[in-house]
Structure 1
Amino acid sequence: MSVTKEAVLEALKGVDDPELHKSLVDLGMIHEIEIAGDAVKVTVALTMAGCPLKNKIRADVEDAVRAIKGVSHVEVVLGTMTSEERARLMGEAPSEMDGMKGIKYIIAIGSGKGGVGKTTVTVNLAIALKNFGARVGILDADMHGPDIPIMLGIDEHPVGMGGMLLPLEKYGVKMMSAGSLAGAGAPIIWRGPLVNKAIKEFLGHVMWGDLDYLLIDLPPGTGDAAITVANTIPLNGVIMVTTPQKVALEDVRRAIGLFRSKEIRVLGIVENMSFFRLPGEAGEMVDIFGSGGGERLAKAFKVPLLGKIPIDPAIRKGGDEGRPVTLDAGGEVALAFAGIAEQVISEFRCGR
């Protein structure tokens, strides 16, 4: 019995897009089917050229077609939808928070002060959570200093589809940032109302898919962005980042006050730039910015001290090169972030 296009299409109806959870056939992603004897060639149009799940789509299509009686050879060619096809794909305009439907937990990462390494903590915590098998995304809510793309080594621009934006992905972590939309070096000159609108758009109109954790990298302070996140987003908690010195601790106190006034739980404190370990066998620690500040803050607010991150040139190098230090497991910094990630996972696993 010869293989028919109808049989191939029927088999492909059982193959879903991993993000959209709909059949490739129903989504119009099957562009061409060619049959020559027992060989079948299928052309699949991906929603975007850099689709992070393209290998899974290819494998699923191959498996489905190869299961057809009479097929012994399968070739899958991956193409890309046109902008018009992407615009038609979803049909109806998305509702305000459609993009958040598949997110389990949303955690804000705040500081109250600039320069304490909040973005560094966000990126490396995301990688650490991913290393434990979690599905993780990052929303860069620091509109005037959107550095997440740099630290992840992402220079692509996101594409739109049916009124939604598709997040970019690197190292298994999804990401959306104004920096990716504006381009490298382009100034983002937005006043408060535009900042508020952009944050809401990034949450609700980005096709995040199924995530265990979405980390929101907040700007410093308690201004428009932080207030918008606290008022409009169903946060499951906030992690505060500080350095040991007094001025950083005072600003974090103010930020904690903002979130607690909104009845948002503070999951704990991360003390960044906690110490510098001198080279050599002794490994003596030097408290460049003081010591004990994070512990005192955690005790004062009765929250956990989630971890202490040392000063390490590898952190700076990883951020500059777009390769977070937590990708290399085993070092002191990576282990510190792994410990923080374990506590976050445990907190939500216990349902607290």
Structure 2
Amino acid sequence: MPLTKEQVIETLRQVNYPGYSRDIVSFGLIQKLDVSDEMIRVHLVVRSTDNNVAQTIKRDVEAKLKEAYPAAKHEVVSEIQEPPQFKTTASETAGKEKFLAGIKHKVAVASGKGGVGKSTVAVNLAVALVKLGKKVGLLDADIYGPSIPLMLGVDEKPLYDGKKIQTIEKYGVHLMSLGFLIDNSEAVIWRGALVHRALQQLMSDVAWPELDIILFDMPPGTGDAQLTLSQSVSLDGAVIVSTPQDVALIDAIKGVQMFRKVNVPIMGIIENMSYFVCPHCGERTDIFDHGGVAKVCAQLETELLGEVPIDARIREGGDGGKPIVAMDPESPQSKVFLEIAQKMYDKIENQ
């Protein structure tokens, strides 16, 4: 029986991406494959800024092919592709200055996928920045599932003075969310132009005070809201929130690459639900594995900003509208958020 592409692909599924349990085929690294009984040619495209990753994959593929098909010659080409960079024109920069002009620093808190605790992290970072003496704003840009009002225990509607909507202040944080303006049970299924308009109105039609920093709690993914924000304001950076599992890290990488494409600096990645410490015996358990974010940070040449544990008090604080940093700033969990917040602000000031 002649050798087939399907056979070779199944063989290549045994080669994992360095540091991951997923294989290079499911990662989409096989750009081209030519197979005959005498020759196997594999063209790999590795999207990474780390040449060592590409070389490791190339060596692993060569070894696997030699092991599985010793009678055939093989040729493996490994190509690195970096995300393209786009220059911002002077007119685009000028257009961005009309939004949130009185706010010194603007940072997006994002995630590649849902369910990683991004909003919980954003809320506690905002309160932590207040504890560090900063004047802070938090804009709930997750228009599909605005959860910031719940997490901060705010159920009143913002005031309108005839010109602008007034922010609501809670725990020292100035807030605005679409959740203040719509029925909590209403499903938001906006796309494209509606997303663009909604986000811009949350910036332009709101009386944001002069602040040191505003955090944007972004929807998960890499869609309309992320592009609208990067086009509308000059972001100082983006922070990506992920959990340690491979499935979350794959999407975190996409989030990093998306922001880099639109010239938004990546400040680093936060590993949420990083570990669990038993409240009875003090033993640490890495429920979702551990170290995955550190590996991705090395691959993407960015910083691991911190590791936030799984903790019932953090979850209870989010559900009850009482963030742990506000209620117990001296707790070990709060100190993690305070350290990350300090690191973030220092990076902005020094860049």
Counterpart residue number, 1:33: none
Counterpart residue number, 2:139: 139
Look up the equivalent residue of 2:317 and give its one-letter code. G
Counterpart residue number, 2:233: 233
CA contact (8 A) 2:242 2:248 kept: yes
CA contact (8 A) 2:196 2:228 kept: yes
Give the match's secondary structure for 2:288: coil
Cα distance change of structure 1 residues 96 and 344 upon mapping to structure 2, 3 Å threshold: closer
Instruction: Tell me the distance in 2 between the aligned counterparts of 1:226 and 1:96.
Output: 14
Counterpart residue number, 2:262: 262
CA contact (8 A) 2:238 2:265 kept: yes
Q: Is 1:325–2:345 an aligned residue pair?
A: no
Tell me the CA shift for residue 349 of structure 1.
2.9
Tell me the CA shift for residue 165 of structure 1.
1.2
Instruction: Tell me the distance in 2 between the aligned counterparts of 1:306 and 1:331.
Output: 19
Give the match's secondary structure for 2:240: strand
Q: TM-score, normalised by structure 2?
A: 0.70
Give the match's secondary structure for 1:146: coil
Instruction: Tell me the distance in 1 between the aligned counterparts of 2:225 and 2:248.
Output: 19
Give the match's secondary structure for 2:157: coil
Counterpart residue number, 2:315: 316
Matches within 5 A, 1:84-95: none
CA contact (8 A) 2:168 2:174 kept: yes
Counterpart residue number, 1:338: 338
Which string of whole-angstrom CA distances, capped at 9 and with x for unpartnered residues, describes residues 109-154 of structure 1? 0111000000000000000000011011111111110000000000
Tell me the CA shift for residue 279 of structure 1.
2.3
Structure 2: give runs of 5+ residues left out of the alignment: 1-94
- Point out the more displaced range, 177-186 or 333-342: 177-186
Counterpart residue number, 2:294: 295
Look up the equivalent residue of 1:150 and give its one-letter code. L
Counterpart residue number, 1:116: 116
Instruction: Tell me the distance in 1 between the aligned counterparts of 2:324 and 2:300.
Output: 30
User: Identity over aligned residues, as a percent?
Assistant: 44
Look up the equivalent residue of 2:244 and give its one-letter code. P
Counterpart residue number, 2:273: 273
Q: Is 1:247–2:247 an aligned residue pair?
A: yes
Matches within 5 A, 1:103-252: 103-252=103-252
Give the match's secondary structure for 1:214: strand
CA contact (8 A) 1:148 1:177 kept: yes
Instruction: Tell me the distance in 1 between the aligned counterparts of 2:192 and 2:280.
Output: 49
CA contact (8 A) 2:97 2:234 kept: no
Which string of whole-angstrom CA distances, capped at 9 and with x for unpartnered residues, describes residues 187-244 of structure 1? 3232321111010111122111111110000001111111111222210000000000
Counterpart residue number, 2:84: none
What is the aligned residue count?
Answer: 256
Which string of whole-angstrom CA distances, capped at 9 and with x for unpartnered residues, describes residues 93-113 of structure 1? xx9975612100000001110
More RCO (CA 8 Å, sep 6+) = 2
Matches within 5 A, 1:32-111: 100-111=100-111
Tell me the CA shift for residue 183 of structure 1.
3.3
CA contact (8 A) 1:168 1:174 kept: yes
Instruction: Tell me the distance in 2 between the aligned counterparts of 1:121 and 1:256.
Output: 17
Look up the equivalent residue of 1:177 and give its one-letter code. S
CA contact (8 A) 1:99 1:209 kept: no
- Point out the more displaced range, 153-162 or 102-111: 153-162
Task: Give the CA RMSD over aligned residues.
Answer: 1.5
CA contact (8 A) 2:99 2:232 kept: no
Counterpart residue number, 1:83: none
Look up the equivalent residue of 1:325 and give its one-letter code. I
Give the match's secondary structure for 1:100: coil
Look up the equivalent residue of 1:318 and give its one-letter code. G
Instruction: Tell me the distance in 2 between the aligned counterparts of 1:106 and 1:162.
Output: 27
Instruction: Tell me the distance in 1 between the aligned counterparts of 2:162 and 2:263.
Output: 35
Give the match's secondary structure for 1:182: coil
Look up the equivalent residue of 2:198 and give its one-letter code. A
Structure 1: give runs of 5+ residues left out of the alignment: 1-94
Which string of whole-angstrom CA distances, capped at 9 and with x for unpartnered residues, describes residues 320-348 of structure 1? 11000111112121010010011012113
Which string of whole-angstrom CA distances, capped at 9 and with x for unpartnered residues, describes residues 227-278 of structure 1? 1112222100000000000000000101111100111100011000000011
CA contact (8 A) 1:97 1:205 kept: no
Instruction: Tell me the distance in 2 between the aligned counterparts of 1:185 and 1:118.
Output: 21
Look up the equivalent residue of 1:244 and give its one-letter code. P
CA contact (8 A) 1:128 1:338 kept: yes
Counterpart residue number, 1:8: none
Tell me the CA shift for residue 162 of structure 1.
3.8
Instruction: Tell me the distance in 2 between the aligned counterparts of 1:234 and 1:162.
Output: 28
Q: TM-score, normalised by structure 1?
A: 0.70
